[in-house]
Amino acid sequence: MLLDTGSPSTRDDSLPSLGTVDDKASLRTGREKVRALLIDGDPADAVNILGHAARSRQLVFDVVVCRSVVAAEAELQTAQFDVVYLEYWLGSETSIAFIHALASLRGAPCVVLTHLDEPDIRRVAFRAGAEGFLSKDSLNTQALESVTLAVLRLRMPAAHAAD
């Protein structure tokens, strides 16, 4: 367990999903497959992010959506993810402790999402271990693709970086 918040552990299956992407679909389109975990307590924001992921022309996203850290922890125990998108505020708490835990485990890179696009918030997120940051207010498909590709390349072994 990464962080015990005492909240119920539920995955949000009520939100639309991008579904599972098979490797053949990725090969047919020439786009890189990205398995992502999205942790956001606001269903409207999650739907917006899923919409941008679905419109990607560079990446094929397979996204699992969770509305709490506890639900995300359950997913992380049973599945591998290439990237974690995490809302800065989850309920009345920040996600900083969860970011620290992800960074210490060297799990999937974490991209912080928030409506509070302030330098102090970005600085705190990066110091906690986030590898990317996106403002929800100015989010678009190209920004989602660019940050995702950047954080994935940070983790890529040098031998494959030139591909």
Task: Encode 125-162 in three state secondary structure.
Answer: HHHHCCCEEEECCCCCHHHHHHHHHHHHHHHCCHHHHC
3-state helix, strand, coil in the chain (%, to 5): 40, 20, 35
Q: What does the mean pLDDT of the chain come to?
A: 82
In a domain, residue 162? The reply is no
What per-residue confidence (pLDDT) applies to 113?
Answer: 97
**How many CB atoms are located within 10 Å of the residue 31 CB?**
17
Q: What is the pairing mode between strands 83-87 and 32-39?
A: parallel
Q: Look at residue 135 and tell me whether its pLDDT is greater than 50.
A: yes
CATH number at residue 78: 3.40.50.2300
Task: Tell me the pLDDT band of 4, cut-offs 50, 70 and 90.
Answer: very low
| Residue percentage of the chain with pLDDT more than 90 | 66
In a domain, residue 117? The reply is yes
In a domain, residue 41? The reply is yes
Rounded to the nearest 10 degrees, how much is the dihedral formed by the CA atoms of 25, 29, 31, 37?
-40
pTM: 0.80
In a domain, residue 3? The reply is no
pLDDT tens readout for residues 42-97? 999 999 999 999 999 999 999 999 999 999 999 999 999 999 999 999 888 899 99
In a domain, residue 131? The reply is yes
With CA atoms as reference, report the closest residue to 68 among 92, 91, 35, 49: 91
Q: Look at residue 119 and tell me whether its pLDDT is greater than 80.
A: yes
In a domain, residue 57? The reply is yes
In a domain, residue 5? The reply is no
pLDDT tens readout for residues 11-25? 555 554 455 444 555
Strands (E), the chain: 32-39, 59-66, 83-87, 89-90, 93-94, 110-114, 132-135
In whole angstroms, what is the distance from residue 134 CA to residue 39 CA? Answer: 14
In a domain, residue 91? The reply is yes
What per-residue confidence (pLDDT) applies to 88?
Answer: 96
- Residue 3 tokens, joined: 């962080």
Secondary structure class of 71 (helix, strand, coil): helix
- The tally of domains found in the chain comes to 1
**How many CB atoms are located within 10 Å of the residue 34 CB?**
22
* Residue range of the domain that includes 78: 23-153
